[in-house]
Amino acid sequence: MDLTTDAKKAYRLLRRAFTARTAHQRVTALLAQQPPHPAAHYRIAVYFADTAVNVYQMRQWYRPLQQLAERWPVVVISRSPVGAAALLEDGALPVAFTPQIEDLERFIAEQDIRIVLYVNQNTRNFQMLRYGRRWHVFISHGESDKIYMASNQYKAYDYALIAGQAAADRLREALWDYDVDARTLRIGRPQADHFSGTPPYTADDRTVVLYAPTWEGDRPSMSYGSVVSHGVTLVGRLVATGRHRVIYRPHPRTGVMEHRYAAASRRIVAMLKAANQADPSAQHVFDEGPEVGWQLAAADVAVLDVSAMVYDRLATGKPLMVTRPVSAEAEIDRNGYLSACEWLTAEGAHDIVSEIDRVRVDEEAVTRLRTWSERYFGDTSPGAATARFHAAIERLMQLWDAQYARETSPT
């Protein structure tokens, strides 16, 4: 290792330590503003061991969990100072900051946690999974056909809350010796009941197109990002018509692994800015805010990468297209929705205007969309998924009561 490499490594370590220390100080100040946690108050905890870069996984659950907390008090257990600072600044749910194992043990001892929810597969989840006499439940941070959604890691949890029939079939096909019917509860997509908000533009006769690409991925099998292959071309074509309004929402990690993705994203943002300056009524949107929902509900058509965003949009029943990865190594589930979706190739991005017109009016495309929406999410009428989510939690609480009664009853 040369001196330059050593110096870069040392700089990264120092920067990481400084960031953590600054975040820890920020957490301390924010916790001082939060009321103390009442003893034995919480029944449900959401365990989140990640840093701020993955807080978006928590944010999509805020509103469903806030509604659930009206019945069962909910707390977020955060392990990372940077992640905890972001959660506390959001102020959506009470946060317990437990950076060390002894902090976690102390908090668990003080509370009556009966259900622990997990939004991702962070390896530090195992530090919480060691606690018995409570249900550990994987809820994920979205529904998709990524290989992640059929991981053998599902077996680590007592139960999983899944979206619907498609998720059950995916797990049944992928996992050996896993009783899908016994260990999963279908809830649909409760987040879709909260897809609301005011768009930052004045509605007119323009066709609104949401382009929300995912990041480039950290390995070839997950290289679904389209910013470089599709994004610059399709946004350029749409902006040029004067008849379309683009909502551009890149993944928060875009460009983390490859600089060319960050450069392409900056180019798209520059195009939107220039178009707005040339015609203020265009009102194109570069969206990097914490709220996800209004974009999916407001867009006439969505152009999305292989990601959970596809399935969030599918839950609305409104037209969408999926960018086909250019990498032959990107793994795609050929049995689910992606086997019948409206694909947009890199070459097809040049014809994005006509493709958008087609998916809005083609009867076969509309019928396919409706069929797959029901397969993935069941009843998508307003409030249906929320009712199933609450019913699943009630069921788990009943199972906890029954198990506790068996353990404590006289022999």
Which residue type is seen at 111? Q
Each domain of the chain, given as residue ranges in start order, spans 40-187+381-411, 207-377
pLDDT at 110: 96
pLDDT score at 199: 92
Helix pair 352-361, 363-377: axis angle to 10 deg:
70
Those residues whose C-beta lies under 8 Å from the C-beta of residue 397, and which sit 6 or more positions away, are 43, 72, 114, 115
CA 242 to chain centre: 32
The backbone torsions φ and ψ at residue 286, rounded to the nearest 5 degrees and listed phi first, read -100, 110
Residue 135 to residue 161: CA distance in whole angstroms: 12
> Structure pTM?
0.79
Taking only the tens place, the pLDDT of each residue in 377-390 is 999 888 999 999 99
| Average pLDDT of span 109-137 | 97
CB of 116 within 8 A of CB of 377? no
**For the chain, how many residues are written?**
411
40-187+381-411 maps to CATH 3.40.50.2300? no
How high is the pLDDT of residue 9? 61
Residue 1's pLDDT is 47
How many CB atoms neighbour CB 214 within 10 A? 25
Which residues share a beta bridge with 48? Answer: 78
Q: What is the pLDDT of residue 8?
A: 59
Q: What is the pLDDT of residue 19?
A: 67
Question: Residue 217's pLDDT is what?
Answer: 85
Q: For residue range 249-290, what is the model confidence (pLDDT) as tens digits?
A: 999 889 888 899 999 999 999 999 999 999 999 999 999 987
Statement: 207-377 belongs to CATH 3.40.50.2000: yes
**What pLDDT digit, counting tens, does each position of 330-362 carry?**
988 777 898 999 999 999 999 999 999 999 999
How far apart are the C-alpha atoms of 314 and 306, rounded to whole Å?
Answer: 12
